[in-house]
Structure 1
Amino acid sequence: MMNSLYIAGEWLAGQGEAFQSLNPVTQQVLWTGEGATAAQVESAVQAARQAFPGWARRTLDERITVLEAFAAALKNHADELARAIGEETGKPLWEATTEVTSMVNKIAISVQSYRERTGEKSGPLGDATAVLRHKPHGVVAVFGPYNFPG
């Protein structure tokens, strides 16, 4: 049984419907597992909401350190990740390698975006003042296409 769900700091097996990932070129079974149930998804969302205040209390430098450690881990496993992406999507190795590089580079792009989009900006707008404020939204989910699994 594959423990593929990371919820509240623990790896768990899915309790939902069984499925398998096939190499789109050879149709070879790459792995099998179970999806999450609605209750497991809800548990993951609740765990993320509970973790958010602690994450938000960290300094910017502490958060950047965590993100840079993630980027370093991606770099350290780049070949392995590229092979997995290629097998899962049918992408040629050069393209899968480019995707891993994009994942690594996204960290610096995200940090730069944070710096550009935080705080408050104001300026004159006719006989009034325009004010732009950026505030965190809290827990969000990001769904990407299967062919860009990173």
Structure 2
Amino acid sequence: MFDFDTAPIEDVYWAAQHWHQFLSSYPVTVVLELSREALATDAMIEQEGPNWMPPRYQPPGNSSPHYPRWIPFVEAWHKGPISLDAVCRVFSFRAYSGDKFEDVSPITTAIAAIEKLAGNWAAEDEKARSREISDAAPNVRGLRAMARGRSS
């Protein structure tokens, strides 16, 4: 979860350098905007100041506790399930697109909208790859002309 309301805007901008990696791990990343008011306050784990560290935890089968990876200033956690009623908006981010995204709200139609976007984006990517391949392929006429020029 990301908390863009608590940290100063300068810290949010600083943290933005970490978002690209998060949003490019898969061809499509779905982001849910949650209503803070719909979340249980005692279940929230938020960053408290610039030197904050996430809670240590000990994974099963590991002998020592460690800190999880997190994005400073803006990442937050919630203990327990989150109701779909807490979802305000749904966004779909396209990997490697300069963080291009689409608002696919409301949640009731988001899955169909995301599937459609993923199909469209896959088709666009395939066309671009085909164009790159055809542009990189040697021009047969050019090769014949070069061969004729060498033989004369």
TM-score (norm 2): 0.29
> More relative contact order in 1 or in 2 (CA 8 Å, sep 6+)?
2
Larger Rg: 2
Could you say which structure has the higher helix fraction?
Answer: 1
Could you say which structure has the higher strand fraction?
Answer: 1
